[in-house]
Amino acid sequence: MDDTRFNTPGEQRKIDSVAADILRNVRINRSFILWMGFLATLLALCLFAYVIQLRQGLGVTGLRDYTSWGMYIANFVFFVATSLVGMGCHSLDGSKLVGPSFAGLYGSQRSVTEGNTEKTEIADEAYIVSSIYDPNKEIVVGYARNLMQSYRDILTVENIAIMTEYLKTLRITRL
Ligand code: HEM
């Protein structure tokens, strides 16, 4: 590993093991079938509850009570706001928002500035980890500094490895 890469060998090993785990074939054995059966039953129960709500109105869920209404709204607003913040910064369709799009990002050449030096980097695993842990170290040309904050204390290397596998699937040409 050369010094322009930011991952330690430990981090790289974690990334590789997550990638291998995500990409391995599913083994259809007894526990897999039991687990799928359990999930299918859960899904059927949820669909049943949904039909009851649809026919009798949301009141059957106990939403007239302040506590359950409060929990419902707080969760709803939390998830809507979280998705909105994410959507406002990085698009998946190539359009430029506050930050660069994730479309076609993985494996592409990135022009970045570090201090006063402009250079080119390949967006590989190490680059993605570094962009998320140290977003203001290298700034993608055309974007502002200090907008994206570090996710070092929020996302583990394993979390990022899973996201990177997703980024690899976004092979749409960048606009
Ligand atoms: C978990 C959430 C996030 C992830 C995984 C993430 C990931 C990334 C990655 C991989 C890059 C490098 C992109 C490239 O080379 O084209 C980047 C850059 C950037 N992100 Fe994010 N981001 C996140 C949240 C945000 C948020 C919430 C904002 C807006 C407030 C933001 C704004 C930016 C900006 C302005 C850049 C370009 C400047 C720079 O290189 O630091 N990001 N982000």
Question: How far apart (Å, rounded) are the C-alpha atoms in residues 2 and 66?
Answer: 58
Question: How far apart (Å, rounded) are the C-alpha atoms in residues 26 and 43?
Answer: 21
In a domain, 171, yes or no: yes
Range of the domain at 160: 92-175
Q: What is the pTM of this model?
A: 0.69
Q: Is 167 in the pocket of ligand 1 (CB under 6 A)?
A: no
Q: How far is the CA of 135 from the centre of ligand 1 (A)?
A: 7
Question: What pLDDT score does 172 carry?
Answer: 59
Residue 18: Cβ-neighbour burial (10 angstroms; 0-12, 13-18, 19+): buried
How many domains, in total, are found in the chain?
1
Q: Is 106 in the pocket of ligand 1 (CB under 6 A)?
A: no
Number of Cβ atoms within 10 Å of the Cβ of 23:
9
Task: Kindly give the confidence (pLDDT) of every residue in the chain, 175 residues in length, as a single tens digit, with 9 standing for 90 and above.
Answer: 444 445 677 877 888 888 888 778 888 999 999 999 999 999 999 999 999 999 999 889 888 899 989 998 999 999 888 888 878 899 988 889 999 999 999 999 999 999 899 999 999 999 999 999 999 999 999 999 999 999 999 999 999 999 999 999 887 554 4
Report the CATH number at residue 128. Answer: 1.10.760.10
